[in-house]
Chains A and B, each alone.
Chain A
């Protein structure tokens, strides 16, 4: 049987053919978003594994959220994450791998990685946001490391400033005495060199630093020294488990309520309360971010939404929020670069330029607004102090302006 073909049929077949040819060639370049690769030096195993995993969850969730609810026009973000295990021997090979893959920016989870890679990042000109506040040479002179919080001496300064206010309010005339009891590693003692001379000038009597090694079971020796020397304020840049030991021993020795104990930002977590119990009451912790309990905070609301959507429920981990902070800074810098320089310019140079010139980044209240400049790599001057009260961390004082100590 002969089938009749009319003009319409021929036209239809031509159209189908054209469609097939076009689809086989692929989407035209002009309609494609630019792929921007970000490298995460993930310390998801090793000594800071728990913290690193939470950082990674917060970081990756935020970019998933941006992709779904608030995409950056003209670009697609591709995150490469490699486990660096807080091991100096891993950082440089991973950096080389990322550089070969063409990352435009990165995220470093600790001081160790920052110290190991800061010089190489300067050479490669790859901007990285970093948690490495224990390594001031990374920002002096300003390079490609953008810190996510002030340096550790500033954390110490915030504790001193707030304590001095309380001290004066209470009507004391003599100088308060401050002592550091800390872990004898670079992270633990990072605030001492700059912080102690500053505290002396600020009006404190600075007592000799007491060090301990490794994971302590008992800190009585150090605490008895604090007691005998009459310390009023004890600052410790340590981890949650260590801070819990310090607080428990202080309670046992009858020092709870007599000496004000303050921990760094890694001390404000649920683990301290779980391990120290009642002994944690009254302790302070200095940090740069807000607490999960502040449910009227936009950033906290976003964190909860993200966790509900991607994790099936809220896990109140402090470090999760800390992971959201670098993701938001990077995303906003990319958004600014895409809008002002064009999507094609969202590369290392574009992101670096955006970070140093874009002005304030709204952090949704998670931290103070972030602002870098061509000469400054610290994000803000405001730090917060939380207090442990009846088994939870509550706001003690927020927005303490620190002096930005620098070598």
Chain B
């Protein structure tokens, strides 16, 4: 862990701390206060909905980061695990009348369980073959949800109750934003803690060289399954937040394309870093809004080519961004952020 010159740990508590210095604490509190206050007090419902979608994407990418970034596995079915979370919380609340406070975390555990099942092939196969196995998860889960009859609502999906604890129901976007923000903080803390724990180190060892990791006594079977479970747990929680925000879920909400873009934008943000999912999610959601804003104007400006090019402009731009990052900065925006931090710490000195 890189720290500014002169900052030392004096005890184990300090050594284990996620946030190390007073400056870091101050910056974090100021940032969170600013973003929450601005969004809560001054943000329109549109802005809040974008913020909530960004939070959902960050949590999803954090989950994917465990599988791809830390453990070096691959998953192109992450969106399906979100669907498991979304459908689980809804079914638990509407069919089994389990309160939100229990059904919400249960959604994460259901997704983790399903993720565990689809992780089993990862013990025997990797790379391209594992990608195909997770692709099967995407299709299989989608098919089961679509043909699940009354349980999953089939073609029509399910209507989702609002989030609430006891008699308190979250009815406004402001309230839901705060709820999502709290969940994001908890999940981020959890992610960072795992990254710095024995488990996180084992994940990284498996990623860097699984044979060497096994020789060192790391149980590859256990840690690969664990990575998939934790990643799917995050996806399940993100799916549950999605469900209680949209108030209706449908199998079309969790498509293969989403899974692929999650993977692409995790690369853009920075694989295997805590900040990567945050950068990736901001770029993904931001680009989507930007493209939606710009496309009709461009289409009106060039009517002759609108159907050929502008109808797929979002896909073209997403793809270009991912390709550019893969070519020129494969370690993602997080790498640039780290370089920037190093630069301003040393500024005006060049060394």
Contacts and interface: CB of A to CB of B under 8 A. Distances in A.
Contacts of A85: 292, 314
Contact of B53 (A49, A93, A97): A93
B248 A90 contact: no
Contact of A100 (B46, B296, B307): B46
Contacts of A45: 291-292, 295, 310-314
A304 to B, nearest CB: 19
Nearest to A122: B247
Interface residues of A, number: 39
Interface in B288-306: 288-289, 291-293, 295-296, 299, 306
Contact of A96 (B49, B155, B299): B49
B292 A83 contact: yes
B248 A115 contact: yes
Interface stretch (B93-101, B192-200, B249-257, B262-270): B249-257
B46 A96 contact: yes
Q: Interface of chain A, helix or strand or loop or mixed? A: helix
Nearest to B296: A83
Given A83-B295, A112-B252, A186-B251, A92 B307 contact: no
A119 to B, nearest CB: 5
Contacts of A119: 159, 247-248
25 contacts: A42-B296, A44-B295, A44-B311, A45-B291, A49-B312, A82-B292, A83-B292, A85-B314, A87-B288, A90-B292, A94-B46, A96-B44, A96-B45, A96-B49, A99-B45, A112-B252, A115-B156, A115-B157, A115-B250, A116-B246, A116-B248, A118-B248, A119-B248, A136-B156, A190-B155
A134 B252 CA distance: 13
Contact of A186 (B155, B291, B312): B155
Interface residues of B, number: 37
Contacts of B289: 93
B119 interface: no
Interface string A108-139: 00001001101110000000000000111100
Most chain B CB atoms below 10 A, which of A44, A134, A184: A44
B50 interface: yes
Contact of B250 (A46, A83, A88): A88
Q: What 10 pairs between A and B have smallest CB-CB spacing?
A: A49-B311, A96-B45, A97-B46, A93-B49, A186-B155, A83-B292, A96-B46, A88-B253, A96-B49, A45-B311
A135 B248 CA distance: 12
Interface of B: 44-46, 48-50, 53, 146, 154-157, 159, 173, 245-248, 250-253, 288-289, 291-293, 295-296, 299, 306-307, 310-314
A89 interface: yes
Interface of A: 42, 44-46, 49-50, 53, 81-85, 87-90, 92-94, 96-97, 99-100, 112, 115-116, 118-120, 134-137, 184-186, 189-190, 193
A87 B251 CA distance: 13
Contacts of B296: 42, 44, 81-83
A244 to B, nearest CB: 18
Contact of B50 (A82, A87, A93, A134): A93
B295 A186 contact: no
Contacts of B155: 134, 186, 189-190, 193
Contacts of B46: 93-94, 96-97, 100
Given A92-B245, A186-B250, 13 more contacts: A44-B311, A45-B291, A46-B314, A50-B307, A92-B246, A94-B46, A96-B46, A115-B156, A115-B248, A119-B247, A135-B156, A186-B155, A193-B155
Nearest to A47: B311
Given A44-B295, A134-B155, A50 B246 contact: no
A120 B311 contact: no
A120 B159 CA distance: 11
Nearest to A134: B155
